[in-house]
Structure 1
Amino acid sequence: MSSSIRKISCKMILLALVVVSVGANWLGAQTPASASAPTSTLQSAHTEGAAADLNDAAGLTAFMDGIMKVQMDNFKIPGAIISIVKDGKILFGKGYGHSNIEKGTLVDPETSLFRIASTTKLFTWTAVIQLVEQGKIDLDADVNTYLKTVKIPKTYPQPVTMRHLMTHTAGFEEGGVGYQITTDPKKLPVSISETLAKHMPAIVRPPGEMMSYSNYGTALAGLIVEEVSGVSYNDYIQKNIFNPLGMKYATVQEPIPASLEPYAMLGYARENGTFVAKPPTFEGGFRPAGSGAVSANDMAHFMIAHLQDGRYGDQHILKAETTRWMHSPAFQFDKRLPAMDLGFIEKRMNGLRVISHGGADTLFTTELYLVPDKQIGIFVSHSGGDGGAAAAGLLQAFFDRYFPAQAVERPPVSAELEHAVQKYAGSYQFTRRNHTDIDKFFSFLSQISITASDNKLSIGSGAEQQVFAPIGPDLFQEVGGMHQIGFRTDASGKVTHLLLDILPDMPLEPTPLTDQSTFWFPLLGISAVLFITALTGFAYRRRAIKAMPKAQKWAVRLSAVTAAWALATCFATFVVVLNMDLLDRLSRIPQSLNLYLFMPIILVGLTAALVAYSVMVWKNKYWTVLKRVHYTLVALSAVVMSLFFYHWNLLGWQFG
């Protein structure tokens, strides 16, 4: 699974995003932005100073040891590995904590296998480029040209190509509820082709139009590697990447091969103040997107090969020109912001261009950063705890120490730009979301609100607020910080997309009114109040109701039953569905979810009957006008709630 959501700064997002990825937010270390900072001179929030000597081995070790000691205590992390390479050599490699707490086994950077989740994608993309070099894959050909067992429907005139898969622009919606992972090794091995055929997401935007990070797209690329080469995905990666690079403690096989099982890291969760070992997760048929398990030193070999134009020692896994091509921008939201390369995701760290990929599952968090201009690579992986926050803090501290940011002088901004910020304000949602399945509901709370004030844009409020000032057309710089956000607009000037520079692979787009939680919450709140009044009225007027004619009596009873059922369904939606354990949600369909889904259907039936009775109430002039109005409002509230369940794909069993 992707770690991209995990890496969002809590100051940048300010939401507990309910998404397929898991774990903690990327905790920002900067001082809260000051809204009064001048827009003409925006500089790094990090302290400037002389860069430390990265070749000072003792200083590097002491620095890393100091950070890890604090982080493992503060973030409750049982085990971690780090490897740093420079100029074709391993500069630093070390393990921290335990790989097996019960046995007291220490983490070994040479042999301890950490689950790297979505960082596995880099192996898949490297394999694709190898086949491109051999003339077996054309990045711009229809992927159906290469697929034998699965065919992608032609939803749009443009075909899906391998370039689209590598840049996450194929247009696939997000999915995963009930099938993305498993914890049961008895269900393995699983065919990639059968899995992708069974769980094919819809294509919801034209290929090549916009990025939307996709595990399915990467798994599809892995299937193409398998079917074009004639070799299974596992064997291809082993023979063409791991073996040439001398990666003896690396595998994409699930479960881990028996020969490597003694070196597998256990994943831990914190329960009642102690670490408790949890079963590993498996990607099954999605393994090209996240099944890797690798040691720190072996990952160093992979980083060296990519930094040295495909060469490790006397072995070449890629040609120099294609390696550099793979590391170059392949899709750009805005040329002024980090791009999406062929598989690698660009970042900016203290002014340096970094190509990277992270990964996360329920127990492990991984980051891999390459700095081609400095011939430096960094790999860090954590088992358990708040690994996302730890990795972000460690990497920023590393760059601050060895490549400190410099102040950036920017020219004054025109008054026209400063006074045109209001059009950027509003609610935005990620392009990476579901449209057609029950998964859609899990993005209900995943929106970002941007406000405009004093010719600046703000995300969040209070101590967590970030303020951005315009520095160019559709481009904003964090006041007192290094982050940037950019917008795309159409010919009329209307905003169509938003990009946060820390998430260049996952843009956002304006949230339609019917997708906004601020639209639904008031409606649901008003409906709930009306339902409560219907129930209290029924309770207090029992004697009067008993004396009513039969038809009126049944009308009141139906109103009360519908109100009670609607409240129960709404309560179950937010307590049962949104509170589902993430591991359960992605690995199986719990019986509780299957049972819950009867509730909205029954509500729709009750609503239809209540609407029909509302017509009868007015036609036959039951009760007073005021009571008829109230009865109708209760019926309309039931309609609103039914529409809510319909809109968020909670009517029926809509599983991907």
Structure 2
Amino acid sequence: MWYRRSFLLLASAALAAAQTTAPASAPATPQRLEEQVRGYTSQDRFNGAVLVAKDGKIVLSKGYGLANFEWNVPVTPDTKFRLGSITKQFTAMAVLLLSDQGQLKVDDPVCNYVAPCPEAWKPITLHHLLTHTSGIPNFTAFASYAKTMSVASPPAESLKRFLNEPLDFPPGSKFSYSNSGYVLLGYIIEKVSGGTYEDYLRKNILTPLGMGDTGYDDTLTVLPRRASGYERAGSKLQNAKFLDMSIPHAAGSLYSTTLDLMKWDEALNAHKILSAEAYKRYFTPVLNNYAYGWTVKTEDGVEQINHGGGINGFSTRIVRVPSQHLVVVALSNVVPGQPDKLAQELVKLMLGQNLPVPEKPAEIKLSKEALEKFVGNYAIAPTFILAVTVEGDQLITQATGQGKIPIFAKSANTFYPKVIDAEIVFDVDADGKATGLTLVQNGRRMPAKRQ
């Protein structure tokens, strides 16, 4: 993700566990895929655009919900969404293309391009930045980030935010997702190419591939068919907090459409733009299954290449299955939501698996007095607290550094959030007052004591 973890903890971006079986039957029909998407939209778990393509042909391409809630403008397949960290795969391609052009080498030290360069950075290479193994701390996780995200900060300025921070670990020894590394790559792309990051992508990648609906987003340009971004605040919808798009830069600044991302997938399948050797590096995972701007791993018996993005008001996912010539794209402009999980389920359906259509859990009403017994702070980790409050007759959760999420009762002490696939079970004493809780998400059970 571009700048923060998604929903309650860390698991909403995780994909389903790998299986070793081959596809069981024929790919799902468009009607069956539509049924799965509608199961999400009916529960406010997805608002946006979806594309499924097989063998270069569209199986499903539709918009669901609204691109602009103020004006009741519907989402369509050519609605433009901010991509967040899906941007990173374009940045990685730009670096490899510069390498093919002889303007840099992927194994070059970062200090070749940064002056003055910290002593601790001398072992760091562009390869480390591309694979999130540099050890450079992620500046969007700094406590100061929320206060500065509305202020313009081109790469040279953003660089100053983490230039003198100690490394999280020796370069190459571990994986830790870092937007800092990709902003630094953007800085290097501009320094080497002599132009802007946007211009280099437009001239060398986007225009040659015919991706006319993809580009670098900013708030000054009047951009036709651009979706507005929204965030859920409890049970209400609000405009996403402003983010100056100079800040995400090469780590998360691009916008696109589902149709343009299909063109992107087709170009990758055809090995356009890059040399064969560059493509090999592009898709070779290093640590934590991460390659250059992509996660590459075996899921459901086939290699899948995927990445997601999260940026103020937007959540995105692209999943590619090259051996099946299959791509699924889900772009959402309401957060939190579940484009990650939806995209993965659509892949499973296209691989011939049988899945249940998402159904709304039964909901019961509890009195405000009963809800008050759950109010408190619950420590899932020493620095990660889940606050539970009551607003009106609604129980609300808010995790450290995240927005408010309403939860709804399935029983006297079991609740669920409609916008994410999770469950919260409260432990109660003889008087019915909560003493702790367990967050159940993506097969994990995470207990937390009440503070």
Letter in 1 for 2:118: P
Q: Is 1:66 aligned to residue 32 of structure 2?
A: no
Paired residues of 1:83 and 1:92 also in contact (CA < 8 A): yes
Paired residues of 2:230 and 2:334 also in contact (CA < 8 A): yes
For residue 92 of structure 1, what is the aligned residue in structure 2?
60
User: Considering only aligned residues, what root-mean-square deviation do their CA atoms show, in Å?
Assistant: 3.4
Q: Is 1:170 aligned to residue 118 of structure 2?
A: no
For residue 209 of structure 1, what is the aligned residue in structure 2?
173
Task: Select which of 196, 205, 216 maps to 1:232.
Answer: 196
Paired residues of 2:190 and 2:196 also in contact (CA < 8 A): yes
Please, what TM-score do these two structures have when normalized by structure 1?
Answer: 0.50
Q: Is 1:248 aligned to residue 212 of structure 2?
A: yes
d(CA) in 1 for partners of 2:400 and 2:13? Answer: 22
Task: Describe how 1:586-601 pairs up with structure 2 within 5 A.
Answer: none
Task: Describe how 1:33-52 pairs up with structure 2 within 5 A.
Answer: 50-52=24-26
Letter in 2 for 1:128: V
d(CA) in 2 for partners of 1:107 and 1:303? Answer: 22
Task: Describe how 1:163-562 pairs up with structure 2 within 5 A.
Answer: 163-176=127-140, 177-179=143-145, 184=150, 187-188=151-152, 190-200=153-163, 201-255=165-219, 257-258=221-222, 260=223, 262-271=224-233, 273-310=235-272, 317-329=273-285, 331-332=286-287, 339-387=289-337, 389-404=338-353
Paired residues of 2:183 and 2:251 also in contact (CA < 8 A): yes
What does the per-residue CA deviation read over 1:112-143, in whole Å, with 9 as the maximum and x for residues that have no partner?
A: 11111111111111110110111111111211
Paired residues of 1:180 and 1:286 also in contact (CA < 8 A): no
Structure 1 residue 394, shift from structure 2 partner: 4.0
Letter in 2 for 1:392: K
d(CA) in 2 for partners of 1:274 and 1:401? Answer: 35
Structure 1 residue 241, shift from structure 2 partner: 1.8
Structure 1 residue 390, shift from structure 2 partner: 4.4
SS at 1:68's partner residue?
helix
Letter in 2 for 1:115: R
Task: Select which of 91, 94, 100 maps to 1:124.
Answer: 91
> Which one is further off, 200-209 or 164-173?
200-209
Decide whether aligned partners of structure 1 residues 91 and 151 sit closer, same or farther in structure 2, where only a CA change above 3 A counts. farther
For residue 25 of structure 1, what is the aligned residue in structure 2?
12
d(CA) in 2 for partners of 1:359 and 1:113? Answer: 14
What does the per-residue CA deviation read over 1:255-297, in whole Å, with 9 as the maximum and x for residues that have no partner?
A: 2622x1x311112233575533335433423311011111111
What does the per-residue CA deviation read over 1:359-404, in whole Å, with 9 as the maximum and x for residues that have no partner?
A: 11231111111112222222111111432x3431441343145244
SS at 2:199's partner residue?
helix
What does the per-residue CA deviation read over 1:7-60, in whole Å, with 9 as the maximum and x for residues that have no partner?
A: 9xxxxxxxx43x8xxxx8358889xxxxxxxxxxxx9599x9832236xxxx22
d(CA) in 1 for partners of 2:262 and 2:344? Answer: 16
Greater helix fraction, Structure 1 or Structure 2: 1
Paired residues of 2:137 and 2:162 also in contact (CA < 8 A): no
Letter in 2 for 1:197: K
Paired residues of 2:137 and 2:180 also in contact (CA < 8 A): no
Task: Describe how 1:567-606 pairs up with structure 2 within 5 A.
Answer: none
d(CA) in 2 for partners of 1:345 and 1:28? Answer: 11
Structure 1 residue 68, shift from structure 2 partner: 1.8
Paired residues of 1:267 and 1:280 also in contact (CA < 8 A): no
Paired residues of 2:83 and 2:316 also in contact (CA < 8 A): yes
Letter in 1 for 2:219: P
Please, what TM-score do these two structures have when normalized by structure 2?
Answer: 0.71
SS at 1:366's partner residue?
strand
Paired residues of 1:94 and 1:109 also in contact (CA < 8 A): yes
For residue 154 of structure 1, what is the aligned residue in structure 2?
119
For residue 141 of structure 1, what is the aligned residue in structure 2?
108
For residue 506 of structure 1, what is the aligned residue in structure 2?
none
Letter in 2 for 1:168: H
For residue 104 of structure 1, what is the aligned residue in structure 2?
72
Letter in 1 for 2:40: Q
d(CA) in 2 for partners of 1:181 and 1:517? Answer: 20
SS at 1:303's partner residue?
helix
Tell me the number of residue pairs that the alignment of Structure 1 and Structure 2 aligns: 365
Structure 1 residue 2, shift from structure 2 partner: 3.5
Letter in 2 for 1:51: S
Structure 1 residue 356, shift from structure 2 partner: 1.4
Decide whether aligned partners of structure 1 residues 256 and 303 sit closer, same or farther in structure 2, where only a CA change above 3 A counts. farther
Decide whether aligned partners of structure 1 residues 127 and 579 sit closer, same or farther in structure 2, where only a CA change above 3 A counts. closer
d(CA) in 2 for partners of 1:81 and 1:181? Answer: 31
Letter in 2 for 1:308: A
Decide whether aligned partners of structure 1 residues 256 and 247 sit closer, same or farther in structure 2, where only a CA change above 3 A counts. farther
Letter in 2 for 1:191: P
Decide whether aligned partners of structure 1 residues 124 and 517 sit closer, same or farther in structure 2, where only a CA change above 3 A counts. closer
Decide whether aligned partners of structure 1 residues 181 and 344 sit closer, same or farther in structure 2, where only a CA change above 3 A counts. farther
What does the per-residue CA deviation read over 1:527-550, in whole Å, with 9 as the maximum and x for residues that have no partner?
A: xxxxxxxxxxxxxxxxxxxxxxxx
d(CA) in 2 for partners of 1:399 and 1:322? Answer: 30
Letter in 2 for 1:75: D
Letter in 1 for 2:252: G
d(CA) in 2 for partners of 1:66 and 1:216? Answer: 40
Structure 1 residue 224, shift from structure 2 partner: 0.6
Letter in 2 for 1:125: A
For residue 422 of structure 2, what is the aligned residue in structure 1?
none
For residue 612 of structure 1, what is the aligned residue in structure 2?
none
SS at 1:284's partner residue?
coil
Structure 1 residue 580, shift from structure 2 partner: 5.9
Paired residues of 1:83 and 1:94 also in contact (CA < 8 A): yes
d(CA) in 2 for partners of 1:131 and 1:28? Answer: 32
d(CA) in 1 for partners of 2:403 and 2:233? Answer: 16
Structure 1 residue 161, shift from structure 2 partner: 0.3
Report % sequence identity: 27
